[in-house]
């Protein structure tokens, strides 16, 4: 956020409220959730760090939102560095993955159920983003941002689908691998126990599908 605000000042010095308006315009509906005060907090931090300077606009009462902010040379360097940077936010999948593994191993919860719940949640988010896109004018730049959100959600949903398939079909294998990794020679016994536990999963399918006596194996 700090970098983005700095970069917006690179064009010309600006009021806090002007910056906020430009941010909101770029973010589209996603910007609406932004805290109105957040921009001033950010600007104050930047000023403290010596990256921006502020001066009061002439002839106006002294109010924080009437200050005009401008970049310092250090601020300009920081903007250049930011633009050159190729870092990318890392998706945090490990946490969810470990959640499934742990839930399965300790038999705390059915991993397939967890995946399902997560999937429903992501679908709802996707739905919101999607509706936001459809509500936006086609030429709005915010559509691109929303499109990015949608594509990431789609990627996550596909991963969840893979998770679901792996956990519902290959539960034994997963469990065995886990058991062997943990206790070596005792793995065989554990696997048998695991297989018994997974009847519970089948049971869930039976409940969900109504009937399920002759399920067709393999797809």
Binding site for other proteins (CB under 8 A): 1-2, 27, 29-34, 38, 41-42, 45, 89, 116, 120, 123-134, 147, 149-151, 153-154, 157-158, 161, 165, 205, 208-212, 214-217, 219
Neighbours of 159 (CB within 10 A): 16
Q: How far apart are the first and last CA of the chain?
A: 46
**CB of 127 vs other proteins, minimal distance in Å:** 4
Q: What Rg, from alpha-carbon coordinates, does the chain have?
A: 26
Q: Which is nearer to other proteins, 34 or 68 (CB)?
A: 34
Q: Which is nearer to other proteins, 107 or 127 (CB)?
A: 127
Neighbours of 81 (CB within 10 A): 10
**CB of 172 vs other proteins, minimal distance in Å:** 18
Instruction: Supply angle C-alpha 111, 113, 116, rounded to 5.
Output: 110
* Segment holding 166, helix H or strand E: helix 142-169
Dist. CA 19–CA 17, nearest whole Å: 5
Q: Which is nearer to other proteins, 6 or 191 (CB)?
A: 6
Q: Which is nearer to other proteins, 46 or 100 (CB)?
A: 46
**CB of 147 vs other proteins, minimal distance in Å:** 8
């Amino acid at each position: 956020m700090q970098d983005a605000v700095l970069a917006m000042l690179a064009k010309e010095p600006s009021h806090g409220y002007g910056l906020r308006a430009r941010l909101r315009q770029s973010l589209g509906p996603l910007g609406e959730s932004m805290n109105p005060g957040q921009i001033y907090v950010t600007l104050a931090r930047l000023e403290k760090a010596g990256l921006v300077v502020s001066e009061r606009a002439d002839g106006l009462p002294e109010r924080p939102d009437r200050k005009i902010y401008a970049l310092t040379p250090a601020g300009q360097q920081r903007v250049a560095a930011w633009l050159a940077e190729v870092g990318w936010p890392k998706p945090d999948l490990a946490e969810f993955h470990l959640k499934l593994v742990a839930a399965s191993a300790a038999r705390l919860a059915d991993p397939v159920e967890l995946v399902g719940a997560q999937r429903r949640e992501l679908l709802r988010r996707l739905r919101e983003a999607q509706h936001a896109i459809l509500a936006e004018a086609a030429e709005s730049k915010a559509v691109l941002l929303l499109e990015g959100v949608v594509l990431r959600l789609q990627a996550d949903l596909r991963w969840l689908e893979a998770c679901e398939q792996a956990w519902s079909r290959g539960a034994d294998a997963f469990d065995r691998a886990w058991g062997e990794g943990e206790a070596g020679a005792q793995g065989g016994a554990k696997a048998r126990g695991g297989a018994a536990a997974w009847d519970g999963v089948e049971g869930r399918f039976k409940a969900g599908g109504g009937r399920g006596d002759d399920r067709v194996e393999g797809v």
